[in-house]
Homo-oligomer: A and B are copies of this chain.
């Protein structure tokens, strides 16, 4: 079933088909037995494609952390990453963008947690790093704010202060994806400065070492954002 020759399909590169086949090897249990893949030359003969194609496929999977290559040794399945395989195959298909609303919903959950943890753990220096973008917020004009990163920096500073690398990574990811969606253009200017003022209670709660107040403030901040998005959708 996974031994037939690979034939070129318009719009689908051979290396993509190879990834599919590799995933199939795993799901069929042919690999998990010992965790070692057949060699490049083996698969080359088996699927009737050149080594280049095989290698490109494996390289992509290696970048995702699913496969590990040992020169001279072979290629191995990283058992702790097997669940990622299914997600990976889906990811290739759904290149689609995600609505800003969904990103904000996610950030409400993640960043309520970072705010609460930051309230528990932020050092004075980290508190200052959170406060600085807030000072810039009040110093700059609402119009100027639309073109800066003070908003993102505020959220990132909190994430860095929460003492959890996982959460820090998640926030960095979600923030950059939010920016990619170009949310600056979706929120009205007056709303914008008002939302910035929503940052203030968050900072206060963090400085006061009050985790629950920080969590609540952050959640309210995103709730306000969602409302402004609703109005923006309705008006425009």
Contact = CB atoms under 8 A, between A and B. Distances in A.
A55 B80 CA distance: 28
A105 B113 contact: yes
Contacts of A86: 172, 176
Please report whether the interface of chain A is mostly helix, strand, loop or mixed according to DSSP.
Answer: helix
A83 B170 contact: no
Contact of A176 (B83, B109, B176): B83
Interface string A38-73: 000000000000001001100110111100000000
A44 to B, nearest CB: 14
A97 interface: yes
Interface of A: 15, 19, 52, 55-56, 59-60, 62-65, 80-84, 86-87, 90-92, 94-95, 97-98, 102-103, 105-106, 108-114, 117, 164-167, 169-170, 172-177, 179-180
